[in-house]
Structure 1
Amino acid sequence: MTAELVNTLNGPVTAFFVVVGIILNVETIYILMRPIKSRLKSIHRTPFTIKAGTSVLGSNWVRTRSTYPKPLIYTHLLWLSISDTALLISGFLMYSLPSFFKSSLCPYAKFFPTLYLMSNASLTASVWLMCVLMFERYRALCRPLAASAMSIAKVHKILAAVVVLAIVFSLPRLFEVVVVEYEDGFSDVVQSDLGKNHFYLFYYRIIGGLVFYSVLPYIVLFALSAKISLALRAAAKERQVMSRSLSSRANRIADSELILLAVMAKFLLSRLMPTALDVAEHIVTSEIFVLSPAATLLVAISNLIVVISSAVNFFIYFLLAKSFRRSTCSCFENLCHDCQRTDCGRPTAERSNSPAAIFKYNNSDPSPSTLPLLNNVDDVQKRIGAVPQGV
């Protein structure tokens, strides 16, 4: 019964959340990379054409959008979404896909050590990226002068270095497991001598795990979140006396802090159970832990929680961030608008009278093909009246 439940959790249940999570994370990455635009504004424009000292005046209305600079937290959330997507892919390949194999994992088994490294590196990178995000928000709230000098390009370089360090730190995981091939063609993945070494298990897996991606990062996150909460209370009082011209900027800052607190809560809740299982494995020894049906079930539940946590970023951003919600709606509106502008199968004359074509002609430079009336200035003067010289 336990084996069937574990196979169900690792198989179809995990596969469902992985597919949904990857689709939503890709959409999240696309929206986070889009510029933040305000509502459409109508601007009156008066173009003129000069020919032989005579001016011809006209006027039209142009609809434009103003673009806001993206907050730095969007860059951090972009890297977190990429890390969560990599974690979803590796989790599917490690736990979900093997459950669909009824017999041997060959030839899939030879990729398992690399996937094991990818999974642990993604998990470590997500922890470190979250710590960097919390530190950046703490500095932005408590030391705004120092944070103002941080550019988006510099943030990308820092986060890329964090990911590289996470991969380097996780490299020993590549040698923890080996693929064993038997004469009958059956392949299996077992622990290597390094994975069974007590010195390695104690100092790298236990001490290194507690210091670098479990207990110590949690303490740092709790300390920074407490300071951020105090800074938010102080900032809320200051915002009450701000002028109305700064209200939009204050709303964007508030959205960023709400996202930050929600992502941190999701992160801590999803990582508590894996940390507790690591401690339990160290207490009861690996041999007993691996053979325990209850421990196997708890590991499957823990992996599923991590997968779900990595798949819900889109809903958190959509519910808590007005700018993200506006960008999402704008993205779907543009998609629907592009579908309506295809004009497939319509005659050429009918397409030329479409609103899209008229809008294009009205906003293009005067030319014989688009505005034939401007070819003859005298004819235009007859239509709009005499224009004084020197205008």
Structure 2
Amino acid sequence: MAALCVIIIMKCSRKRFNALFLPVGPHGGYATTEGDLAARETFEQVIFDYEVLKDATENFGGRNLLGKGGFGEVYKGRLADGRVIAVKKLSDRSSTQAMDEFLTEVKLISSVRHRNLVRLLGCCTHGHERLLVYEFMANNSLHKHLFGDTETHLDWNTRFNITVGTARGLAYLHEDSNVRIVHRDIKAGNILLDDKFHPKVADFGLAKFFPEGESHVSTRVGGTLGYMAPEYAVHGQLSEKADVFSYGVVVLEIVTGRKSMNTKLPEPHHLLLQWAWSQYESDQVLDIVDPRLEGKYPREQTLRTIIIALVCTQASPAQRPAMSQVLSMLTSDSEISMRPTQPAFIEGINNVNASASANSSHGSITVSLFPR
């Protein structure tokens, strides 16, 4: 099916961005032909006043702190009109770019709108500070529900819907958005859940906008170890297939309830991908399913999901499917024509901050292929 084009008209003024979006396309985003112009929806991106955000977050108080990451702190806020928001204060190293560059990126990110992507409401600048304002997600992150101290139990249907919804969001970023975007930091912590546990991909602080006609770019590495594709972690070669790899790791986390890396566990269990592949090779792959599900999951759908995750984490980027193909495999009952080949995993990591940007020269990173 030919991808429908996204038509976006932007106007920039000193105080406000205006963007024109069009009806839902094949992956849930906004897409249309010229004949659909009557169905367009207009909305505004605003530049928030710093004092407004300061009041909304109670002076960025500790009790409003939702989380911290390599690119800043996130606070819950409530505006005077009652709207609940999430405010990200970018860290100093994320705030050094020129004002024009910052506003251009905000405008681009604001133009990307999809039901499985966290919506950017606007931005703020205050001296050297840069702040981004997002819609608030009531159920926090997937990471919190899989690995945190929460009493919420994710049943199989919820986990599978999160798997599919995340695939929809990534397929839109890669193939249907008005600009090609590679997220670069897909992980359970960057998949947020709304009040109905619908997933939305968050945190475009590392996102890379691709020029037309480029299949990949070489760039400074940024992301989270345990999720990064080998060609990106070692050589800085970035394409959409790096996100596909990370997505596959997240799906394995969803199925197993285990983190991508856990050095407290013995080999081969401390690397989730290595353990999953060894179980697949031994024809015991359903043994990796989260025991908290207590066997309450559809065998065929679960097996299919695991195989898709392994297909996504193959060593060669060329062998990994596009996210639109992943989505099709997840939502179809037809036989999966692709079969997973040996995945790659990052085996040795020294002096590399697991949540910060790093070049392979900053530490020792060894990529191995199965079998060892």
TM-score, length basis structure 2: 0.28
Which has the higher relative contact order, 1 or 2, with Cα contacts under 8 A spaced 6 or more apart? 1
TM-score, length basis structure 1: 0.27
Structure with the higher helix share, 1 or 2 = 1
Larger Rg: 1
Structure with the higher strand share, 1 or 2 = 2
